[in-house]
Structure 1
């Protein structure tokens, strides 16, 4: 139950029910005031204007030869019935003879024109006006009664006229209050969500998010608790990963050291055997053994480099070098190896418009070594290697092309793919780009430097 009351849904439903209760309260209060008003102030029957008009005419018709005293008595009777009424008498000569409660200026002398103008100006207006002739003949004069139309309204109508504006204002204030409270409610939710978003964007020294202070136990608070739990699990996972990575590096380092010593001894023994008088088959076996030693040494070197790169401990010293000249000099060291395997070597290293690249010479040399080594190992069938330079408006590139069966075909000399992984990390580490286009007709690899990448 406590959890329910702490929820945002329960809080907003409380706001809605409070608003509904407030509006109902206003309506009930208005109705109660109306009932009290009618009971206190309107015990008499409601005045009907049709009855007033009828009775006024009947009374006037009965006063055909009435004296001034009779007219005064007649006015007094109506005054007692309707205190708000205004009455006056114009005799047969058109003279204003008697008046009661008259406020406006009434002509002292009346003729047909004056009477017509008066009737025209008061017809259908407020006050309600009734003109009746004395007796049955218009020549006897007439009496007029004026009654405010307020008198004819029913009690609820009068109540609405008096308090209707207050009711409307109260309802509008209630609605406005509901809107304001709802706005503040959702503004608070939005503020907390924005704080949560900002908190998620903050990072600790280890690159992981920081924990967020949980202030409330509603749905957002539960989300914050879940986020904090996720942060704790991420930190624990990263610590385990770092420990495992440290163990792997130590294992690889120790394994590399332990293997190099016996391999050096075996390689020395193989060299000693090659000095002996061996048969052709024996010499070929020793040669294959030496090639295996070279291959194993290369794999171990790649493994160590990959481990250091993953740990961000491989020394990186960028400097501006003439990349075309560097590539040409580096390729010279590989000529014997490719010629020995019968490769056709096609070199087209034309100078760039701006040949200076900001790179690490050791890293770039390692990239070229791994790519050329891959050609020797996996593209022997093509017996072709081309290294050229390409320059466009967007980039400069060193392009290596072979005519092997493509990378989708595995050669007899399978590897772990560490060489290309090292190429990828080193290329990206020097802010360069590289692409591989491979099919059954061969493979083309481009090492690109975008124009202005420095």
Structure 2
């Protein structure tokens, strides 16, 4: 049953119908010709005629007439005319007089001279029409009779059918071929229409961003494909709903975890402040400083975790505006300058004005990008104790370059958590339609934040 519902079975049915129609057409023509042959019309006999047979019959019947008369000859001619309607016959007496004629189309002389008789026999020999001359009776005193039949009568039945009905057969075959082409065209047009409908359904998106289901009308191969497509859409929708639920649970877990961690962290910070008021040994002071540094790092990690979660869920507030980035970065560096100075860093700042200092960015996002980069320098490049912030202008982009002399990000460091911080940098940079590059080796790390010109973007 599955095969009979398939497109292959339908197309095979079309081919079988086309072949059947051709066979029926030829059978109909053959039946028609057989009916004609059964009516006794010799011109369309179903059997091939032989010239020798007709010639022998004509001579035999002519020889059997000893007492020739017009009635006898006319009776003979009528008999032959029933069998060969297109044949022409005439009787010429011993003296050359043209007597009885039947179905003669040519102009014949009333008196046949020996010269004309000889000329007639010469012209008819081997030509068309086929001509048979026979004497009546056993002597020549009764004259002779002539039978003329078109040589088309002697053609095989198939050739006669083709000669008389060839155009009908030709146009019949052409009609069948055109019918087959038209049916095939409609068949494949329907397939193409259904495939295009399936393609459109794949491209159209519902409110949830997934393709829409389509109505399955048939149970053939395309119908099975449509059913599989609908099943895939349902599975994608279920998967997306599960993912959304899991994402919501993950955000709630991170939010609750961050809140739960910050509460004891605040208490630890308060206790460390209380301990710092007490008289401590040198080792106690160093331990307290290490604890405070760890508290700061943990707080930064919690903040990064919250920010990353909000960014991935597109919940982080984004408000771009045109700002003077040179002034903004210079003012932002003033808050970090004491931090680096306290840690003994050599600070190299060289901010040259761009041709246009106006960038369309979110100030909070841009500040967060620099904060994460500077925190990464403190964690991973502490051994180099060097940081530089410079600007660079080219025909294709304007950029800020932050560079340190640490051991590189691939080397082990005492501080962890730089991965999520740089992931936040990547999301925020791309979210503000900027670009960035990072290269790290044993001699240090270099980060470039670019604002690519619009013409350069189109060139890519």
Global fold match (TM > 0.5): yes
Aligned CA distance change for structure 1 residues 144 and 372 (closer, same or farther; 3 Å): farther
Q: Which digits, 9 at most, give the CA deviation of each residue in 1:67-119, with x for residues without a partner?
A: xx8999889856753553346799999x9967764434568999999999999
- State the 1:374 CA deviation: 1.1
Q: Which residue is 1:205 aligned to?
A: 207
The worse-fitting range, judged by mean Cα deviation, of 376-385 and 181-190 is 376-385
- State the 1:237 CA deviation: 2.0
The worse-fitting range, judged by mean Cα deviation, of 14-23 and 98-107 is 98-107
Whether the 8 Å contact between 1:79 and 1:85 is mirrored in structure 2 is no
Q: Which residue is 2:405 aligned to?
A: 403
- State the 1:214 CA deviation: 1.9
Whether the 8 Å contact between 2:77 and 2:102 is mirrored in structure 1 is no
Partners in 2 of 1:10 and 1:296 — Cα distance?
70
Q: What SS does the corresponding residue of 1:446 show, helix, strand or coil?
A: strand
The worse-fitting range, judged by mean Cα deviation, of 243-252 and 106-115 is 106-115
Q: Which residue is 1:5 aligned to?
A: 4
Partners in 1 of 2:401 and 2:126 — Cα distance?
103
**Can you give the 5+ residue segments of structure 2 that lack an aligned partner in the other structure?**
136-143
328, 331, 336: which one aligns with 1:329: 331
Partners in 2 of 1:433 and 1:123 — Cα distance?
105
The worse-fitting range, judged by mean Cα deviation, of 107-116 and 240-249 is 107-116
Q: Which residue is 1:85 aligned to?
A: 87
- State the 1:391 CA deviation: 2.5
Aligned CA distance change for structure 1 residues 257 and 124 (closer, same or farther; 3 Å): farther
The worse-fitting range, judged by mean Cα deviation, of 424-433 and 156-165 is 156-165
Aligned CA distance change for structure 1 residues 75 and 341 (closer, same or farther; 3 Å): farther
Q: What SS does the corresponding residue of 2:190 show, helix, strand or coil?
A: helix
Q: How does 1:307-346 map to 2 (within 5 A)?
A: 307-346=309-348
Q: What SS does the corresponding residue of 1:445 show, helix, strand or coil?
A: strand
Whether the 8 Å contact between 1:42 and 1:155 is mirrored in structure 2 is no
RMSD over aligned CA atoms reads 3.9
- State the 1:215 CA deviation: 1.8
**Can you give the 5+ residue segments of structure 1 that lack an aligned partner in the other structure?**
63-68, 134-141
The worse-fitting range, judged by mean Cα deviation, of 377-386 and 103-112 is 103-112
Q: Which residue is 2:439 aligned to?
A: 437
Q: Which residue is 1:255 aligned to?
A: 257
Partners in 1 of 2:309 and 2:176 — Cα distance?
70
Partners in 1 of 2:116 and 2:197 — Cα distance?
82
139, 146, 171: which one aligns with 1:169: 171
Q: How does 1:129-148 map to 2 (within 5 A)?
A: 146-148=148-150
Q: How does 1:366-381 map to 2 (within 5 A)?
A: 366-381=368-383
Q: Which residue is 1:426 aligned to?
A: 428
- State the 1:210 CA deviation: 1.9
Aligned CA distance change for structure 1 residues 444 and 78 (closer, same or farther; 3 Å): farther
Partners in 1 of 2:208 and 2:258 — Cα distance?
30
Q: What SS does the corresponding residue of 1:353 show, helix, strand or coil?
A: coil
Q: Which residue is 2:138 aligned to?
A: none
Whether the 8 Å contact between 2:132 and 2:147 is mirrored in structure 1 is yes
Q: What SS does the corresponding residue of 1:41 show, helix, strand or coil?
A: coil
Partners in 1 of 2:127 and 2:329 — Cα distance?
109
Aligned CA distance change for structure 1 residues 83 and 418 (closer, same or farther; 3 Å): closer
Q: Which residue is 2:451 aligned to?
A: 449
The alignment of Structure 1 onto Structure 2 pairs a total of residues equal to 439
Is residue 20 from structure 1 mapped to residue 19 from structure 2 by the alignment?
yes
Aligned CA distance change for structure 1 residues 277 and 37 (closer, same or farther; 3 Å): same
Aligned CA distance change for structure 1 residues 405 and 372 (closer, same or farther; 3 Å): same
The worse-fitting range, judged by mean Cα deviation, of 37-46 and 426-435 is 37-46
Partners in 2 of 1:343 and 1:378 — Cα distance?
13
The worse-fitting range, judged by mean Cα deviation, of 142-151 and 396-405 is 142-151
Is residue 182 from structure 1 mapped to residue 181 from structure 2 by the alignment?
no
